[in-house]
Amino acid sequence: MLDRALAERIKLVGLDVDGVLTDGGIYVGLVANHALEFKCFHVQDGLGVKLLRTVGLPVVLVSGRASEATEVRAKEMEVDELLEVAPADKLPEFVGALERRGLTLADCAYVGDDLADLPVLRQVALPIAVANAVAEVKEAAKVVTTASGGRGAVREVAELLLRARGEWQDILKRYFRESSDVAHGARRSR
């Protein structure tokens, strides 16, 4: 269980993309002579992001490569910001996104899997490694998830944070109430 005081200090969650929101696999091919890439995101992570945002925690994606697949998924998940930057610039670009919100690295959790995430992980309040992270990243992390990237690791992080903050039961009630409102609304408008 995560320390409650630490969990309550968190005001923003940063996520690496490849290897964290995906298993790191990239399907590359040509369609009508256009290079296209596909990635597999996990649907449970989408709800995890939504639950974090519901309790007022912004979610910022920090990717070390530009990818239309990532841009489509980021839009669908309604994350607060997607940074597509050079791997070596993850720390300054993330700090810039925090400054725009009046926050610092001491206010953040960050989830990573590879070496490019280390500069950020070494300075945030709550560094988290996914199960498939490289050894150096696991060593730098306070928490290592049971789930792998692209297999629900971000959902696990969301639940861990919300449980430690004592917000999990409330958020579940809210989620079921809103889902049933949507279902009733849909029935009425049929």
- Judged by the rule CB under 5 A, the positions of this chain that interact with Mg ion are 16, 18-19, 113-114
* Residue owning tokens 């989408």: 46
Beta bridge partners of 108: 12
Q: Which is nearer to Mg ion, 18 or 156 (CB)?
A: 18
Contact 109, 2 (CB under 8 A): no
Question: What minimum distance in Å lies between the beta carbon of 18 and Mg ion?
Answer: 4
For CA atoms 151, 155, 41, 24, the dihedral sign is negative
Question: What minimum distance in Å lies between the beta carbon of 11 and Mg ion?
Answer: 23
Nearest residue to the partner Mg ion, using Cβ: 19
Question: What minimum distance in Å lies between the beta carbon of 59 and Mg ion?
Answer: 16
Q: Which is nearer to Mg ion, 16 or 167 (CB)?
A: 16
Could you list the beta-strand ranges (E) of the chain.
12-15, 27-31, 34-38, 59-63, 81-84, 108-112, 126-129, 143-144
Q: Which is nearer to Mg ion, 114 or 167 (CB)?
A: 114
Question: What minimum distance in Å lies between the beta carbon of 43 and Mg ion?
Answer: 20
Contact 121, 110 (CB under 8 A): yes
